[in-house]
Amino acid sequence: MGLALIVHGGAGDISAREATPHRAGAIRAAQIGWEILAHGGAARDAVEAAVRVMEDDPTFDAGIGSYLDRNGNVTLDASFMDGATLNAGAVAGVKRVQNVITLARRVMESEHTFLIAEGAEQFAQEHGIALIDNRELCTPEQIAIWQECLQSPPVRETAKYVPPQAGGTVGCVAVDRAGDIAAGTSTGGMKFKRPGRVGDSPLIGAGVYADNTLGGASSTGWGEAITRVVMAKFAVDALASDRDPREAAHATIEYLAKRVHGTGGIILADRTGRIGFCFNTPRMAWAHITEQTGEIVGDC
Ligand code: GLY
Q: Residue 82: what are its φ and ψ, rounded to 5°? A: -110, 115
Q: Tens of pLDDT along 239-265?
A: 999 999 999 999 999 999 999 999 999
Q: What is the mean pLDDT of the chain?
A: 95
Q: How confident is the model at residue 160 (pLDDT cuts 50, 70, 90)?
A: low
Q: Which of 75, 102, 169, 220 is catalytic?
A: 169
Q: Relative to the CA of 220, which ligand 1 atom is closest?
A: 1
Q: CB atoms < 10 A from the CB of 243, how many?
A: 17
**Quick one: average pLDDT of 208-227?**
97
Residue nearest to atom 5 of ligand 1 (CA): 189
The four Cα atoms 163, 168, 169, 173 give a dihedral, to 10 degrees, of 120
**Predicted confidence (pLDDT) at residue 165 exceeds the cutoff of 90:** no
The H helix count followed by the E strand count for the chain is: 8, 12
Distance CA 237, CA 184 (A): 17
Task: Average the pLDDT over each of 106-110, 118-122, 150-154 and give the range with the smallest value.
Answer: 150-154
Q: CB atoms < 10 A from the CB of 185, how many?
A: 36
Q: Relative to the CA of 221, which ligand 1 atom is closest?
A: 1
Buried b (16+ CB within 10 A) or exposed e, 133-169: eeeebbeeebeebbeebeeeeeeeeeeebbbbbbbbb
Q: Is 168 in the pocket of ligand 1 (CB under 6 A)?
A: no
Contact predicate 28/300, CB 8 Å: no
Q: Relative to the CA of 190, which ligand 1 atom is closest?
A: 5
Q: Residue 150: what pLDDT?
A: 93
**Quick one: average pLDDT of 35-64?**
98
263 is catalytic: no
**Predicted confidence (pLDDT) at residue 158 exceeds the cutoff of 60:** no
Distance CA 137, CA 65 (A): 6
Q: Is 190 in the pocket of ligand 1 (CB under 6 A)?
A: yes
**Quick one: average pLDDT of 182-209?**
97
Q: Is 189 in the pocket of ligand 1 (CB under 6 A)?
A: yes
3-state secondary structure of 249: helix
Q: Is 201 in the pocket of ligand 1 (CB under 6 A)?
A: yes
The domains located in the chain, with CATH, are: 4-290 (3.60.20.30)
Q: Residue 120: what are its φ and ψ, rounded to 5°? A: -70, -35
Residue nearest to atom 4 of ligand 1 (CA): 223
What's the maximum distance between 2 C-alpha atoms anywhere in the chain? 54
Q: Residue 26: what are its φ and ψ, rounded to 5°? A: -65, -40
* Pocket test residue of 226, 228, 253 for ligand 1, highest count of atoms within 8 A of CB: 226
Provide the β-strand partners of residue 299: 286
- Tell me which DSSP letter residue 161 carries: P
- Tell me which DSSP letter residue 116 carries: E
Q: Is 232 in the pocket of ligand 1 (CB under 6 A)?
A: no
Q: Is 203 in the pocket of ligand 1 (CB under 6 A)?
A: no
Task: Average the pLDDT over each of 49-63, 82-96, 158-172, 227-241 and give the range with the smallest value.
Answer: 158-172
